[in-house]
Amino acid sequence: MAESWKLVLPCTRDEAERIEVEGEALAALEPPPVLMTSERVEDDPDSWQLEAFFDAKPDRRTVAAIRALVPSAADTDADPERIEEQDWVTLSQQGLEPVHAGRFYVHTSTNRGEVPAGAVPFLIEAGLAFGTGQHDTTTGCLLTLDALKRGGANFRNIIDVGTGTGLLAFAAMHLWALARATASDIDPRAIDVVRENAAANGVPLGSGPGRLALAAAAGLDHKLLIDRAPYDLIVANILAGPLIELAPMLATALSPGGTLVLAGLLEKQREQVERAYRRHGLRVASRIAGEWPALRLVKRIRYGAGRTTRPGPRGTGATPDFGSW
């Protein structure tokens, strides 16, 4: 029987919420560990812990990669311990509660529970990629998309940038079933996860209306993503730094009057993110407040020669800066 090992490190709530399951720190670990975070002391943001489970005893390099996820544990002893053999992926999901956000109900295979009447369920397994619905940023995006639909918004060309599990793309496709939809992520493994989740949730893949096209790309740096622009709805649930860096690219890819939904930033980073997008012609239309806010921005409509257009089937059009993605 294969061995099972566990590494436990103290951390803060902020560090726990910043852990990226598919981030660079874990990308080289094969097989990847199963990570679980939890409170050690209720309602104390400085008393959390990170548990990492392994199929074999982790070497020093692996321990260092896990320790790097929680800088506050730098001076803590990191001694892996051998434990009883278990299915840690399944175990990690048993502690997760389903998320009911707007009309959407997100669950794993082990916590389906009773789907509320009228809710749209999505099966998204935990631990595969960021964006399970458990995190406030994902929930904020689901609530924002739901509010847009309830307010009568209609979109025809949608992209989910940094898609993770594909959940937000799936939700947008449910709300605007005739739209062309695209999902991208910088990590090719996340795209594999999206394919699996699409199959599990009956989401059709492809390039036409009502189907989801996929691309692995940094930002929008991919021919498919450029060719499908401009988008009238862009969703980007990533981190504040990349959001600021991507501001020129996302603003250019958004059609005049189009909507941009941003999340992944902390409240203390909000003004800096908003300022980056105001510089590129967007205004904040609404926000969901909280420690992890979700922002809804709208691109101002410009008239005259300065506006950005795309080539049509019978014309060339002007496309300033599109080639710089």
Give 103-147 as a DSSP string.
TEEEE-TT---PPPTT-EEEE--TTSSS-SS-SHHHHHHHHHHHH
Is 162 a known ligand-binding residue? yes
pLDDT at residue 14 in the model: 84
How far is it, in rounded angstroms, from Cα 257 to Cα 130? 29
Q: What homologous superfamily does CATH list for 123-324?
A: Vaccinia Virus protein VP39 (3.40.50.150)
Q: Where in the chain are the domains?
A: 4-93, 123-324
The pTM assigned to this predicted structure is 0.70
pLDDT at residue 317 in the model: 35
pLDDT at residue 229 in the model: 96
Residues of the chain with pLDDT under 50: 1, 22, 87-95, 128-134, 305-325
pLDDT at residue 305 in the model: 46
Nearest in space to 230 (alpha carbons), one of 254, 249, 209: 254
Is 312 a known ligand-binding residue? no
pLDDT at residue 1 in the model: 42
Nearest in space to 279 (alpha carbons), one of 313, 319, 325, 245: 245
Q: What homologous superfamily does CATH list for 4-93?
A: ACT domain (3.30.70.260)
pLDDT at residue 321 in the model: 32
Q: Are 162 and 153 in contact (CB under 8 A)?
A: no
pLDDT at residue 43 in the model: 72
pLDDT at residue 3 in the model: 65
Q: Are 33 and 26 in contact (CB under 8 A)?
A: yes
